[in-house]
Amino acid sequence: MAEDQDEQKGREGQQDVEAGDHAKRMGHLLVIGGAEDPDEDDMKILPHFVKMCGGPSARIVVCSSPSENPHDKADTYERLFEKIGVEAVFPAPIESRDEAENPELLEFTRGATGVFFTGGDQLRLTALVAGTGFGEMVRTRLYGDNLVVGGTSAGAAAMSSVMLIGGKSEGTVKREDISLAPGLGYWRDTVVDTHFSQRGRVSRLMTIFAHNPQVLGIGIDENTAIDLVPGDRFTVIGAGVVMVFNGRVSHTNAPDASDDETLAITDTALHTLPDGYGFNLRTKRPMLPGGEEIPRLEH
């Protein structure tokens, strides 16, 4: 009996060690709301990404698949990263799924410290990358080999499990006002919307939240980003705010509402988080700069 108990404790101890090792190997995401660093002489977000990737020793893949002009977009970010100071940049203006199997791309990605997805059209990104050798290597290394993955605008929206691919900024909270598609799934149980305050997109996330109260709705302003450890916590950096829609919805008419009917949602929590503030994804609580959780008010 004692031997069995010792064996059981040994297995549990090994599982704890493996869980700890996995946490140490977990990569980071930098999720950017678009239009980052408008002044090249006073950049904050892209240098933060480079620092996450190793600073002067950073080796970064720039995937510009979302763009209508992927070669130009890749050249732009290659120039910016080299201006900041990195070891190497590999431009990846992928325009076909076959190009996402390029051996040179896969070899560089295997040793890269970061991958950056540009803006454009998130459906182009998922259609060209999801399920390819490149796409699967990024996912595998993010969750088990310390890879840093950044994305701006469309490149950010595609990181969630379900991504917004369209919607009316001037709409109310109606099902017909949004369009959704599967995302890359790097950030699970979350929907990300970008250019958030600038394009008046609150109603889009509220519509999603009405139908899926278990997910976090994340709205990110322009020139603003989230430095994220998936499943753990994130910190906000940049000039704008991040809005987090969360809470136990006590009532919604979404199950019975038609596409053109305005939705009811009650008891939704909204957190508005500027630079330095954060959010604990385990406890679903906002954090002060420095990491202390903000307690709930007891009524």
Q: What are phi and psi of 209, to 5 degrees?
A: -65, -35
**Mind spelling out the 3-state secondary structure of 117-170?**
ECCCCHHHHHHHHCCCHHHHHHHHHHHHCCCEEEEECHHHHCCECEEEEEECCC
CA 34, CA 196: separation in Å to the nearest integer?
A: 9
**Nearest alpha-carbon partner for 234 in 272, 288, 279:** 279
Tokens in use for 1? 């009996």
Active site members = 153, 195, 222
CA angle (186, 191, 193) in 5-degree steps: 110
Please identify which residue in the block is written with the tokens 């199950």. Answer: 255
Per DSSP, the three-state class of 213 is coil
As a whole number of angstroms, the distance between CA 181 and CA 102 comes to: 26
Within 10 A of 240 (CB to CB), how many other CB atoms are there?
21
β-strand partners of 178 = 167
Kindly give, in sequence order, each residue whose CB lies less than 8 Å from that of residue 74, ignoring residues fewer than 6 positions away.
Answer: 62, 64, 91, 92, 93, 118
Other C-beta atoms within 10 Å of 41: how many?
6
Contacts of residue 91, defined as CB under 8 A and 6 or more positions apart, other chains included, come to: 62, 64, 71, 74, 75, 78
